[in-house]
Every structure is written in structure tokens, then in C-alpha cells.
Structure 1
């Protein structure tokens, strides 16, 4: 007998089914317009954009313009790229425009899908941001899809780290701007440190489409973006502490792998005190429990974490003498990203590389609060349903599963669980060998560089040719992924999240088309695509006969989404495929979440060496463990967000204030209000309301008026006059300060004075905000202890941070008033000295520029390879390092990447 819920689903369909059905009339409208748009000339497509843009800016709703806009994009993409969007791609685009997450399986063409809502929303003229996970994908997508926008009379641009300011401003002025989540977030922070409106990058936060939305809005949301400046160098301290850590025994500390925490035992604390006393880091008689020891204890804890929780080649790699973090979700290097609170320095000390100085926070924001700035947000990924609750609660985003263009024919087998890692690896190599013999392409997923290299060594021993994709092969990523579906290919990858390039059976046609167009830009894309498809059709057929792509996972990740992303690489667009997970009781997830019981069960069952247990119950048990970890991570992110929300309200006030100041032409009224408020506060402090004249502290007031107001007026004599009250003195001080500032305006010139006021206001706001951020960081680190006193740490944090914020605003008024009061025009002598100093600096800079230019010209001078020392045309080992786009030194006339530099 069917339950009520099951019966309702059968009659009415699931909520997801109903959303899909609701888009059908729109898709039919777009399809009905197709013949009409096919008849338009290339100029006609651009004219259509101009017409739609005018209608959008005249107030016609984007929903009404959607069918025509989507039909225009479909035709533009067909002409520019030779790609005609499927109906399911149109559906994905509709859901994105509506502000949802479109969950689309791998290979369904998400990159093209984004162009539809991006084009439609760009008609308004506020700019659309398309967010990707790395610079390579941002540049690739902007260049690739840029052809579509260009065909439609729009401009697409890309931003990247290290780009010049003027180039970046122009990129943000484009209709559609591609870039990484980090770069968009950092640009927002940089904008709020600028002093001129014309220098701002981001004029609007109108509509953002986030690719790999689960990776960006969930996996990376645990780490806030921070712009920081250097603090004092304490590298000696880190090196000294690092020398102590290896002396510790297991009895000295406890490691909790579930929470990734380490704590010292009582025995460990005693041992530490001895060692720290011996090295002069603790004074005689001082213990670890004294308040003065807080900093030392913090750094020792970070040193212990660096040694016991962070593994080389898993959590980070050492490259060119630098510790580079590895993203646990994508397996990519995160160049430029550093761990905070001295942890990165502790890892540098552990690895004996140069220790970079610690930083102080200048500006920070979480990804959650940055992306919630946008009026409308949308996202795409292959795996979002498992996190639908978090997307809805944090971002107000719905998740819609878009049906695949063709039915999925992939076979997902039950997990195979072995007792030891050695048995598991042996079984994986055998499975790869069997598939490889019949020409079936194999993709092996691992969770770390170290494990991928262990498997690689075993495959070398077995004589199986393969490619390895991990952070070390970062540059070859797209090519390795593109070739992973070729006949007999074996690829080992640390992670497949957000790789951006399709694994197509027989090889990736799009990559081949892009390479062909690069060689011959004037060729017809449709003709090139037809030729490439014909060439690889035969190989694809052989791969299909061999069973399609075989995905082997060597471990389960703590997030189900990452496993699903790996699985989703097989069976794209209705292709055959097969996936299986090989696990062992020694895997991290199995070990941490109760493999002891399972080990006993396996022993009881009499499981022989090399045998595996395979049962759907095992899958369900593991998925429950993964769901537990996901739930805990969600709670951590929610907690970070609750605290950041408190700061976010203050951040919005400060950043809005800065924008107002930058936009204002005349800030004299604001400066006057601040000055008058400081006078009010001084009068209230030294002449309290309802007090008698003999209770006034007129000497204290006189000293403060000189210091804070720059005024030497007879306050003491005024107070001694008959019948003078506090209000009279207040008015006299206001009048004297206004007259002083009016005189300064004459001395400096009105225009200069306005500029001085603006600069002083902005610089003071920035300085006070930086101090406030440091104070809030310290407050965050200790507020948890309030829980022991039965007080809610979050409420305590809200109350105290508000009081600190009010104190900061008071300090801001005083600092601005003091600086403006003491500013004075330079004397003629001071001006001469300054001009001479400036001229000397300019001459020095010009000299350096001349030397640099001469060096560049010398380096760029065309060298004849024949005459280069040791050059032999037939011996590639003598060629040095030719650029990928330079001509091949062999003399073929082809680019190096298409000749001897061609990737295997």
C-alpha cells in the first residue's frame, strides 16, 4: 500500500518535476522563434541586442524579454562556436535567471548555459559577474564564450590576480566579467580602501552566476578573505619553538582527528615549561598558566598543529622554497593563500624554508557575506542537492535538478571494502590492468598527492602507461583531463571538482576545435567541428564497445558531493560507463568513524586476504558517516557566519560612509559636525550637566581644547566670569573653532582645504577600522570562555562589539578634528626642500627604469638558435625551455606546443 507522500508524488509529481514542467512553455516559445532568428544576418543579431537593451532600459521586464534574448543567444552560439543549445540547457539558463542553482550533470554544457542568463541580465547595463574556481577557467570561459557575446554585440572580459588597475577597471565595465571568487572578493575589499570613486573596480553588485557553486559557497566558505599588512618579524621565535616539537612524545599531547584539534596533556605542559625555561622563552618562575604566557602558548600550539595535523604533499607542498597550500576539495595549489594566526609561519619553520612575517588584518569578508551583496545570485554545479538546506538557509537559493539531455546509462557498483590499504591498492591495479587490456579508459580518483604518486609508482611497476593530475601538474590540467577518455587512457587525479574540461569518449572535441581555431582563426568553426567529429568518431565507437569510461575511487571523501563529482565524470550525454569505490578499513573516513566494529565483523565472517566485502548496507553506513561530517561542517560555517554577521553590519556602515565621502565634493559640514560633537563631549566630561561652577575642571578642559582642537583660548577666564554657564562656553568654543578653520581655508585655498578634509577623513576611517578589526579578532579568540559562566558567547560578542564600534566612532571624530586642527601650509623653505626631494626620487626612478628597459631589450633580442652555445637542431635536450606559443626550435615552422612540445 502506498504512503500519502508517495501517492501525492505519483499524482502531482515532485516539487522538482513541477519546476521543470513550468519552464516547458518558455522553452517552446524559444524553439518557435528559432527559424525567425536563423534568417537574421550577423548584423541583424547585433541589432536585436540593441533593440532588447533599449526595451530593458525603458522598463520592460527581463522575464518578458527572455524568449527573444535566449533565441538570440542560441543563434549567436551556433554561428560563433558551432554549438546549438539543447532544450535542457535552455531550462538550466531559465532557472539561473530566476535566481536558482541549476544542478546539471557533468558534460551537459554548463559553460554555454551561463551565457543565456548573463546576456539577458546584461541588457540592463549594470554588468554581470560570472564566477569560476580558478584563473585558467576564468580566462578560458571568457575567451571561449566571448565569441558568442561578440557575435551579439556585447563585450566579455576577464579579471585575474596581478592585473593592472586600469585594465581591471575596463574589464569591470564590460557587459559580462569572468573571474575567480577570490579575485571578486578581494576587489571588493580593495575598493573599500580606495580614495577616489574613479578608481573603484566594482560599481554594482547586480547579478552573479557562480560556477561550481557548491565548491565556492560551501567548501571555501569556512575561510574568510583577508587583506593584510606585515607585522613585526618573529621568525626566531618560530624556529626556536619548532626545535622543541620533535622532542615531544605521544604522552605529551592528544590529537582529535574528527575536530582536527590538538591539546597538550598535563605531562606535556610540564615538559614544555622546562624546555621554554631552558631556551629563555619563559622567565624564571613564570608558568604556562600566567597571563604573560598567552602569546608563547599560542605559538607552541600552532607549532604542534603544524607538525601533527598538516601533512606535506596532502595539505601543502613546498615549491621554490615556499609553502603553498593545497585545496582539499579540488587538489589545486592555492598560491598566495596563507593560514592565519601564525600557523603558516609554524609550517614554514617545520619545513625549514624562509619564514615570512605575520600579518595584521586591513580588511576582511566571508564569501557568504560578499555574495549576499548581489541583488540576484545564481549557481551551477553537478552536485548541489545534498547541500540544498544550506543554500536555502544562508543564501536563499533554491536547487533545481535539470534533467540530462539523454538518459544516464552508467552502472554504479557497490563499494568494495578490504581490510588493509595494501590489499585495496593491489585490487585497484588489477582492475585497471583488466580494463586497460580491452582499451577501456580508466579514471582513478585519490584524496592526496601522496596517494596518487603511490598508485602511479605501482602502475609504472606493472608497465601501464598513465597520466597523473595533481597540484604538481597544475599547468597540464586541461590537456590531461581532455585526453582521459581516449582509448586505453589511464588517468590518476587527486580530485575532479571544478576541472571545467569534459572527459569525452574518444577525446575532447571542443579542445581539438579550440586548438584548430587557434592555428587558423579565420576558419569556419562549424566546418572545423564537423571535421574533428568525423576524425574521432571511430575511436569513440571503440571506447563505447570497451564499456565507456571506468571510474575507480580509491577512497571516500568526507563529503558526498566530492564522490558524486568523481562518479559524474563517467556516463556523460548518455554514454555507457561504470564506477566503483575501493575502500579499506585503514582509510581516514573508515578509521575515524568506527571501523573497529567492521573489522571484528569481517574477522568473524572469515574474510580472507585480498577478499572484499560488497553490500548495499556498507554504502548506506558510509553515507551516514559522510552526512554526519557534512552536518558538522555546516554548523561550523553557520557559526563563523553568525559572528561575521555582527561585523558585517559594521562593515556595511563603514564602507557606505567611505563611498559617501568619496562621492562628496565638499566635506566641510561633516568635518564641522565632528568638531562640534567633540566640543560637546569635552563640555559634558569637564563641565557635567547639573553641576556647579566650582565642580568644573576648567584646567583639564583648557589642556584638552589645546590638544584636540588646536585652540589656545582663555577657557579658565571664561568660566570665572559672572553668569557664564556651560552652554555659553560651548558656543564660544564652537565659534572660535569655526573661525580657525575658516582662516585655514583661506590660507590653503578653498579647493585644497576640501581635498585635505577628504584625505584626512578617509585615512582616519581606514586606520580606525584596522584597529577595530584587530580588537574584534582578539575578542573572538576569548569570547568562547564566557560559555563557562553560563553566558551565550554570541550575545556577549554582539554587545561588546557594538560598544567597541561606538568607541571607534568617538575616536574617529576626535582623530579627524585633531588632524585638521593641526594641519598648516608649508613654509617656502619647506616647499623648496620637498620639491628637491621629489625631483631626486623621480631621477632615481627614471634611472632604474632605463636600466630595466635595457635589460628587457637585451633579453628580447632575437638570438639565432643555430649560433646559441651547444644548440643542436635534432637534439631537444639542447633547446632550453621554449615558450609554448613560440616556433619549435626543430625548424618545422609549427608552434612548439603543436610540435615537439605536444602533450602526450
Structure 2
């Protein structure tokens, strides 16, 4: 009570913080007269002057007022838009590495230019991260006009760029791109073999648009780069055919966890069916030999029971395309992981693409924590403020609107079932359309949007449907959703990136209606006519009450509901929002208050009758909070597990960078050789043991395996002072002499390149195997909880032990490869050989470890060529036969069999060096 009284007098902590920033805005406004008086050239010259002041010791905070005033004036001249004072506050918040929560329509895109320009003055690069490629291109072109006017360079990262184009974009002062492109470029860079081929610069500062979507909604899903494995299409189809024969009573479904398991009777039935199909070894489904079949069975069950067509995915052009649950967009090229996507492909009867093996991965949490400073902006972040601080150490600051909000948020209307609810929605939409009030309808799936569309069509209500099937027209449909009497049905409005302007959008109408008209007086008249029509129509829409936002059900996250509401009432316009709910809604059915609540509603509600009560709205919000807390736990768990891998990832990537940057790595290789000798001798001759207890045959075998040497160990053992240290010293002397001979065979630069190539390939090969092991460990480590052990602690212990084993394996592999390497100095001359097809493209993934959701896209050809240089490490290279010594190596296809007769491709054999 006292706290509420103090808040009423002094304002909340957020209000006080915003008021403190107003003093800085006053200083910015103080520079406006002098900046406005500058010529264009003088204004452009400000950038050079600011940079000179930075070199003389001033800091960015010292330059902030003048820099912000400069950007405001540039925006006014170039775009005809002047930053409001509240937008200046948003810019300060972004510059300080915090999250600016600003309502829809408050101009977040323009706000970002302030902090972006200021931080780009250092010349270290600023990344502006958007949620899709369309927004990245649009903002780079639109806001790029301001930066270019002020003498700065702007780049944009989109799919299918070459490495050279990416390097140029990252070298710009300001780089726009999507979170996926930035993350995948980081992983790809750390798989390159030469520093010159890497595209990104060291990280400096990033501003994330729709920060809640990227750092919260997508944070459960790691980015993964992988390569194809064996084709198992027949097995997927066989298991799918059997699963389709099961009845609902043969399995139990848990919709909360998105899991399905066979009942006892279902297991017996499945065993008989699999046995008849010849897929079962023995008669027990859960024998060790049937592990692969069980895995395929589980994924086929999930595909057929849990994942719904037109809700979780659609089938387009013979491919299964995932639907993003938050935005309703098609995720072109993305794939679910762990065989789930293949199981869905089998279910739908389309071509089944092979599974993939992980080559590199990182979570968004750990990727964005690589930036020394991070800012973000969105319309809805306050509900997730604790998570932003816990994981990213970012505070959420709510920025006041420029004009007081006038939208009315009504209580939810609650119906007994979906039919009653949709009938009420159809009636309400018809009434609003009759008075000219535009309606935006938010649905949670394509299925629901098309069902509602049928209701409206039967009642003769004209409308547009925006979902994954027609997302190409997205911007045009959204832009005109505020026209008189317009009805727009959309699957989730999160991150659409286009404002809904009452009366319609002038620019889009001009583009749509006058695209064929040439420049001239006629076109100018038509433009004036459109502007006049839009202005008149806006007045009529305002009189009708502004945009009416109608939610057909509550989303799992309150943020998504708030984003939908936020489409109405922009820039002080009037507006209305209302949600329609029923007991059939997924949120209430899965997470809502069951038993008494459901019985009461069923008994006391007549068909078609509605309940409107703040108590019900509160109950729904409680259910949403439960889901949000559960999802936060999932994301937190992902971070905890990935933090373990992140420490190891940093070590491996730093080692790769050191190897590429080093002039010579002879000392590193020599240390590896010494460690390997120590390990081999230590295995066969443990410390504090007598010579007669040593495993001499093992010692001989291991030395011959790794070094190709046959030292006189029996003679050494006859000596009186024999001990493990003596054996280590003598074996190492022989190994060093062997390598010294090889060094003499090549010029120093060539041998250094050989060492680097061998070391990097070994590092990549074993890191790939290590990732596969950690993936498998992650799937089963929770079972340790049955032994009263904390799974995350067990995971850390096991992962560390495995990392140590991996490093030992790398040392031994590098030592063995160099010991067995043979060099042919004479240039070979091979006959013309047929060109073989290239390796398949590598795949990028964005995988959710809890639900199996995955985001993957083909890597462009140039990058794929880099990744395809990751063959399995070979122990030795055979000598080139004498008869092949007269062939020009430039005439040999990289994918042709090597003429030396090894059976390997030329690029993996004598062509690798």
C-alpha cells in the first residue's frame, strides 16, 4: 500500500529513469538551431569531425547530443521525418545497451538510426539485426539513406551471397541482416582454413529489432551446420505405413511436451507388425539391436499424431515446409531435426531427404553474448524483463508514447465451444464492416484462419486472408488493413514490419495502382488524387472508431497477444481490441484450469451464450504465465547445457584462429609429438612399476601404428638403467629425426602449410565427432536424476572428460599423419579423367532440442565448397606410382579418383596439398 502511494506520487522506477534521460534530450535540442543552419556538405562533414574527436580521447557519450542532433537533421532532410523527443530517449536507451519497449507505430526503425550512427563512428562496425530478409533489405535501403548522406557505408547480409560480398558487407560501417545469417556466418567462419576467407570482423555492437522474438521465442533453437549422412528413405516409409495402422487407444499423447508413447497393448501390437515386416531383431522391441527401429518408430508416431498439416507445416511443391508458430510464416528451407522432418515427409508421401550430421552449432544466447554491447527494441518486452536481465544482463525500459494512447482493451468474451465462438466473431465482424470500421483478426494457425474465412464467406463478409500460403503479398495486405470496412485475417501479427495506417497506405497504393504509369503531369495528378482519397477515408475510419483488433484465441505468450493488440491505436489513433475464447482453445484445453471450471462452464452456458468477466481474463492470464514460466525453464536449460559446450567451442575456435595466424606451428606440432610419445609409453609402462610388468607387445604395436617405427625395444630393456623416461626420450629422438628428414624434402613454406592443413583438418574432424557425442549425451543424461544426481553437473563432468580425450586423439592423429606422410616433389602429369558430380550442399539448421523444431537452409555454393574440405582424417598418403608421374595436376578433376590408386578423391589425397 505504501509502495503504491509512493509510486503514485513519484512514479515508477521506469518513469524516474525516463525523466532522467529527458535532460540529455534537452541538450540534443539545444544543438538543433546550429545543426539546422548547416549546409548539406557541412552536415556530412560532421562525421569526419566526430571521428577526429574520438581519436583525440573523447568518448561516445561526449558526442551523443551533437551526433543525435546531426542524425535528426539528416533524417529530416533525406526522409522528411524528424525524430520526436521520445524517440531520442529510445536512442539513448539503445546506446546504453538496454531494451527500448516502444508501442507499435512509434517509429522504432527510425529510433535505431540514432544509436547506430553514434556507435558506427568508432569504425568497428555496427550490426542491426532484423527478423527476416525483407526487413533487412528494406531497412538497409530506407534508413541507409541517412547513413550514406552522412558519409557512412551500409551493407546488408541476405542468403546466397558469396564470401567476397559478405566480407564487403561486414566491412561496412553499418551492416543489416537477420539473426540466422549473422549466426551462421560466425559458424562458417570458424570452419574456414585461411584467415583471408573469413567474412566477419571482431564483434562490437548490435541492435536487435523485435528483440523479444529473437532472444526469447527463437532462443530455444540452436543454430546448427551439418552435412548429409546415409539415406534411410525405405525405413522411414516402412515404419510410417505400420504406424498409420495404429488406433488411438494404442498410444498416449502429452500435448504439453509434444510427445507420444505406446501403451502396453500398443507395444505388443507394434512388435507383431514390425516382426511381420521383417524390421525387428528377435521379438522384443526394446532390445539393444532394435535401437534404430525404436527411434524411427517414435519419430513416426510424433509425425502422425502430434504434428498437424496446415498448423505445424504445409506441403508446397512436393516439399514439407515448416510454419513458424510465432509469425505464421513459411520457414523455407528449414527442417526439423533428428529424423522428424523425414518422418513427416514419409507421412505426406513426398520425397524423403537424407538426415544430417552436426559440424558446428551455437545457441542465440551464446552468439549474441559475444557482442561487447547489445541493444534491443520491441513493442512487447516488459513481461520477459527478468529473463532479459538474467541471461543477457539487459534492462527493459518502457518508452512513453509520443501521443497518449486512446485504444480501448475490452474484456474477453467466453463461449462454450468453437462453433458458438466463430458464429459470434462472424456476427461482430459483419457489424463492424457495416459501419466502416476496419477489422484485423488474429488467429493462431492456418487451419483456424481458413475455417473463419469459410464462416465469413457464407455470411457474405468480404475479407483478405494473410497466412503462410500467400505471405508474398504480406506487406501489401497489412498496409491496406486500415482501409474503410477492410477485414483482414492474419496468422499472428508478430514482427510483420509494416504499420497499419488508417485510411490506407499512400505509398503502397501508388505502387499498386500507378506502377504502369510513366512519370509526368498525369501521374502527379493521380498521386494527388490518391493522397486526397486516403485523407478522406482516414477521417471516416476515425469516426467509425479506428482499427478493431479481434483475437480468435489467446496465444501461449502474453507478448504475442500484446503485439496483436498493439496494431490498433498507433500514434494516438482511436482503437478497440477484444479476444474471443472457448473451452476448445488449445491454451485452455492443454494448460487451463480443468475440472471445476470446465464443468461449470458446460453446465451453466447455453448454446451461443457468452460470459464477459474480468475473473475469466485473469484465469486465462494465469494459464499464460504457467506456459511462459515453463518455456523460460526450457530456454534456461538450453543455456546451461550450451554454456558447457560454449567454453569448449571458444577453445577450439581460438586454437583454429591461432593456427591460421601463426607464421609457423612447428613448436605446437613438436609438443603434440612429445605428448603422444608420453601417452604411448605411459599406457604400456605405468609409473612405479617394474620392467617385467610392462606391456612390451603393446608398446611395440603402438609405436609402429603411430610413428611407423620399429625401435630395438628388446635391446633397450636389457640395459640396467632402463625406465619409462629413458624410453620416452629415445622414442622421441627417433620420431624427431624421422620428421626432420621429411622437412628436408619440401621448401619451408610448403611444409608449414602441410602442418597447418593437417592440424586444422584433424581439429575439425574430431570436433565434429565430439559434437555428435555431446548430442547423444544430452539426450540421455537426464536419466542420472534417477540416481539422485543433478543431470547438468553430470553433463559437465562427462563433457570435460570427453573433451580431454578429444584433445589427446587430435595430438595422436596429427602425429601419425605427419609421420606417415610421403611427399612427391616432381610435378605429376595425369591423363584426362571424367568429371564427377560435386558433393551435396551442406545444410544449416536451427533446431529446438525440446520439440524438434529445426531451421535449415542450403549454404551457397562458395561456402559449401569450403565446408566440403572436411574429409575424414586419413592416416597416410600412398606413394604416387611411377607411371602417373607425367601428368599435369591442373588437368585432374578435384572429385576424380586419385591416380595413385588410393581409392580416395584427388582433392582428399595428392591434391590436398
TM-score by length of 1: 0.89
Query: Taking structure 1 as reference, are residues 841 and 465 closer, same or farther at Cα in structure 2, changes over 3 Å only?
Result: same
Which of the numbers 474, 491, 495 marks the counterpart of 2:492? 495
Q: CA deviation at 1:242?
A: 0.4
For 1:785, the equivalent position in structure 2 comes to 783
Q: Distance in 2 between matches of 1:401 and 1:771?
A: 46
Q: CA deviation at 1:702?
A: 2.9
Q: Distance in 1 between matches of 2:363 and 2:782?
A: 20
Q: Distance in 2 between matches of 1:321 and 1:533?
A: 44
Q: Distance in 2 between matches of 1:233 and 1:843?
A: 21
Q: Distance in 1 between matches of 2:481 and 2:205?
A: 35
Which of the numbers 100, 121, 124 marks the counterpart of 1:123? 121
> 1:410-448, CA deviations, whole angstroms, 9 ceiling, x for partnerless residues?
111111111121111111111111111121111011111
For 1:338, the equivalent position in structure 2 comes to 335
Which of the numbers 403, 406, 409 marks the counterpart of 2:406? 409
1:456 matched to 2:423: no
- Taking only aligned residues, the RMSD between alpha carbons, in angstroms, comes to 2.3
For 2:395, the equivalent position in structure 1 comes to 398
Q: Is the 8 A contact 1:548 1:578 kept in 2?
A: yes
1:63 matched to 2:115: no
Q: Is the 8 A contact 1:82 1:529 kept in 2?
A: no
Q: CA deviation at 1:239?
A: 0.4
Q: CA deviation at 1:369?
A: 0.9
2:176 match: secondary structure: strand
For 2:644, the equivalent position in structure 1 comes to 646
Q: Distance in 1 between matches of 2:714 and 2:520?
A: 86
Q: CA deviation at 1:829?
A: 7.6
For 2:143, the equivalent position in structure 1 comes to 145
For 1:601, the equivalent position in structure 2 comes to 600
For 1:716, the equivalent position in structure 2 comes to 714
Which of the numbers 482, 505, 529 marks the counterpart of 1:508? 505
For 1:868, the equivalent position in structure 2 comes to none
Q: CA deviation at 1:220?
A: 0.8
Residue pairs, 1:663-682, within 5 angstroms: 663-682=661-680
1:114 match: secondary structure: helix
Which of the numbers 559, 562, 566 marks the counterpart of 2:560? 562
Count of residue correspondences: 838
For 1:656, the equivalent position in structure 2 comes to 654
Q: Distance in 2 between matches of 1:532 and 1:379?
A: 36
Query: Taking structure 1 as reference, are residues 530 and 93 closer, same or farther at Cα in structure 2, changes over 3 Å only?
Result: farther
Query: Taking structure 1 as reference, are residues 694 and 258 closer, same or farther at Cα in structure 2, changes over 3 Å only?
Result: closer
Q: CA deviation at 1:830?
A: 4.7
Q: Is the 8 A contact 1:699 1:716 kept in 2?
A: no
Q: CA deviation at 1:740?
A: 2.3
Which of the numbers 41, 47, 72 marks the counterpart of 1:49? 47
1:839 matched to 2:838: no
For 2:212, the equivalent position in structure 1 comes to 214
Q: CA deviation at 1:584?
A: 1.5
Q: Distance in 1 between matches of 2:399 and 2:646?
A: 34
Query: Taking structure 1 as reference, are residues 698 and 596 closer, same or farther at Cα in structure 2, changes over 3 Å only?
Result: closer
Q: Distance in 2 between matches of 1:82 and 1:93?
A: 19
Residue pairs, 1:228-377, within 5 angstroms: 228-284=226-282, 286-377=283-374
> 1:750-770, CA deviations, whole angstroms, 9 ceiling, x for partnerless residues?
000000111111111000000
1:422 matched to 2:422: no
1:388 matched to 2:385: yes
Q: Distance in 2 between matches of 1:609 and 1:365?
A: 52
For 2:464, the equivalent position in structure 1 comes to 467
Query: Taking structure 1 as reference, are residues 471 and 225 closer, same or farther at Cα in structure 2, changes over 3 Å only?
Result: same
Q: CA deviation at 1:720?
A: 2.7
For 2:163, the equivalent position in structure 1 comes to 165
For 1:705, the equivalent position in structure 2 comes to 703
For 1:31, the equivalent position in structure 2 comes to 29
Q: Distance in 1 between matches of 2:708 and 2:206?
A: 50
Q: Distance in 2 between matches of 1:443 and 1:223?
A: 30
1:815 matched to 2:867: no
Query: Taking structure 1 as reference, are residues 843 and 630 closer, same or farther at Cα in structure 2, changes over 3 Å only?
Result: closer
Q: Distance in 1 between matches of 2:331 and 2:190?
A: 24
Query: Taking structure 1 as reference, are residues 413 and 449 closer, same or farther at Cα in structure 2, changes over 3 Å only?
Result: same
Query: Taking structure 1 as reference, are residues 149 and 586 closer, same or farther at Cα in structure 2, changes over 3 Å only?
Result: same
Which gives a bigger RCO, structure 1 or 2 (Cα 8 Å, sep 6+)? 2
- Unmatched 5+ stretches in structure 1: 845-904
> 1:636-669, CA deviations, whole angstroms, 9 ceiling, x for partnerless residues?
1111211111111111111111111111111111
For 1:902, the equivalent position in structure 2 comes to none
> 1:128-160, CA deviations, whole angstroms, 9 ceiling, x for partnerless residues?
111111111111111111111101111111111
1:196 matched to 2:194: yes
Q: Distance in 2 between matches of 1:805 and 1:249?
A: 46
Query: Taking structure 1 as reference, are residues 837 and 752 closer, same or farther at Cα in structure 2, changes over 3 Å only?
Result: closer
Q: Is the 8 A contact 1:702 1:716 kept in 2?
A: no
490-499 or 527-536: which moved more?
527-536
For 1:857, the equivalent position in structure 2 comes to none
For 2:440, the equivalent position in structure 1 comes to 443
Q: Is the 8 A contact 1:327 1:333 kept in 2?
A: yes
Q: CA deviation at 1:838?
A: 4.0
Q: CA deviation at 1:535?
A: 5.5
Which of the numbers 521, 539, 550 marks the counterpart of 2:548? 550
Q: Is the 8 A contact 1:329 1:497 kept in 2?
A: yes
Residue pairs, 1:55-94, within 5 angstroms: 55-94=53-92
Q: Distance in 1 between matches of 2:10 and 2:690?
A: 81
Q: CA deviation at 1:561?
A: 0.5
Q: Is the 8 A contact 2:827 2:889 kept in 1?
A: no
Q: Is the 8 A contact 2:130 2:177 kept in 1?
A: yes
Q: Is the 8 A contact 2:770 2:803 kept in 1?
A: yes
2:218 match: secondary structure: helix
1:841 match: secondary structure: coil
Query: Taking structure 1 as reference, are residues 35 and 287 closer, same or farther at Cα in structure 2, changes over 3 Å only?
Result: same
Query: Taking structure 1 as reference, are residues 113 and 522 closer, same or farther at Cα in structure 2, changes over 3 Å only?
Result: farther
1:378 matched to 2:356: no
Which of the numbers 687, 692, 696 marks the counterpart of 1:694? 692
> 1:337-393, CA deviations, whole angstroms, 9 ceiling, x for partnerless residues?
111111111100000001111111111111111111110111111011111111111
Q: Is the 8 A contact 2:745 2:825 kept in 1?
A: no
Which of the numbers 98, 101, 104 marks the counterpart of 1:100? 98
Q: Distance in 1 between matches of 2:208 and 2:92?
A: 15
Q: Is the 8 A contact 2:281 2:289 kept in 1?
A: no
> 1:295-324, CA deviations, whole angstroms, 9 ceiling, x for partnerless residues?
211211111111111000110011111111
704-713 or 572-581: which moved more?
704-713
Query: Taking structure 1 as reference, are residues 240 and 717 closer, same or farther at Cα in structure 2, changes over 3 Å only?
Result: same
